[in-house]
Amino acid sequence: MSAAVTARARARTELEREIKETARRHLAEQGAAALSLRAVARELGLASSALYRYYPSRDALLTALIVDAYDALGDVAEQAAGGPAPGAGARWLAVCRSVRTWALEHRHEWALLYGTPVPGYAAPQDTIGPATRPARVLADVLMAGVADGTLRPPARRLPGPRLATSAVAGLVGGSPAAPYDDLLDRAVVLLVALVGAVSYELFGHSRNAFTDDAAWFAVAMAVAAEGVGLDLPLG
């Protein structure tokens, strides 16, 4: 047997998939703290020790789930940004809405990405790339907005030195020129408002505060965007 892929290799790939899928379901139902290798093995009818042929530790499995979650969220955001909406404001609003929807459908995965860090767990290198995808999406939308004029320059320049590092500037291919030279410092507020608003709702802090959470979310994104020179098309 050597038909490019052996039966053993196929079985391995398949079980690898099943393990991750089961783990993801447990994560979705109980949260990261309750994710246990033994429980996953039990459900798959395996000895718990068998999982160590696939992941060297619980943390490794968790890392795989984190990377997948960042990628799923990144896909959703990129797709929304690439939609037909005209202008940076409309595109950003579409991104925000898609992120919120994904978060509502994947509460525990959202918590894993943006909630309290799992104690004792240090995110390894592999997560860094996927984690910056939403920021990249924002960067692209804003740069397009600068290019097509749908991003207003700020009314006045922020005082003091610029604060965004070259890591941030790298996302937009270098620091923008005047009159947008304080754009990077401003822009991260959009990310913070997005993540903050979603977490605020998801973690239960806006309970009983609004008659329509989805509508308020859009308002919040629009209000935050005003400070960045972006007009989000409401209603």
Partner DNA sequence: TGTACATCAGTGAACGCGCGTTCACTGATGTAC
Tell me the C-alpha distance between 184 and 228, whole Å. 9
| Residue 20 contacts DNA per CB under 7 A | no
Element spanning 175, H or E: none
**According to CB under 7 A, which residues from 144 to 203 bind DNA?**
none
Binding region for its own copies (CB under 8 A) out of 17-25, 36-44, 81-89, 218-226 = 218-226
Cα dihedral: 79, 83, 89, 94 (round 10)? -50
Q: How far apart are CA 96 and CA 85, in angstroms?
A: 13
Establish if 128 lies at the interface with DNA (CB under 7 A).
no
Neighbours of 140 (CB within 10 A): 18
**Gap between the Cα atoms of 36 and 180, Å rounded:** 49
Q: How far is the CB of 119 from DNA (least distance, A)?
A: 13
How many positions of this chain bind DNA (CB under 7 A)?
26
- Taking the C-alpha atoms of residue 183 and residue 174, their distance in angstroms, rounded to an integer, is 12
Stretch that binds DNA, among 42-50, 66-74, 183-191, 215-223 (CB under 7 A): 42-50
Assess contact for 225 and 92: CB atoms under 8 A. yes
Q: Cα(185)–Cα(35) distance, rounded to whole angstroms?
A: 38
Taking CB under 7 A as the criterion, the residue among 13, 17, 21, 48 binding DNA is 48
Of residues 90 through 119, those in contact with its own copies by CB under 8 A are 111, 114-117, 119
Choose the one of its own copies, DNA, none that binds residue 210, judging by a C-beta under 5 to 8 angstroms depending on kind: its own copies
What does the CA dihedral 149, 196, 96, 129 come to, rounded to 10 degrees? 90
In the region spanning residues 136 to 195, those forming contacts with its own copies, defined by CB under 8 A, are 158-161, 163-165, 167-168, 185-186, 188-189, 191-193, 195
Residue 82's binding partner out of its own copies, DNA, none, with CB under 5 to 8 Å set by partner kind: none
Binds 59: which of DNA, its own copies, none (CB < 5-8 Å by kind): DNA
Q: How far is CA 85 from the centre of its chain?
A: 21
Maximum separation of any 2 CA atoms in the chain, in Å: 71
Q: List contacts with DNA (CB under 7 A).
A: 1-2, 6-9, 11-12, 15, 35-39, 45-50, 52-54, 57-59
Q: List contacts with its own copies (CB under 8 A).
A: 30-31, 33-34, 111, 114-117, 119, 123, 131, 158-161, 163-165, 167-168, 185-186, 188-189, 191-193, 195-197, 199-200, 203-206, 208-212, 215-216, 219-220, 222-228, 234-235
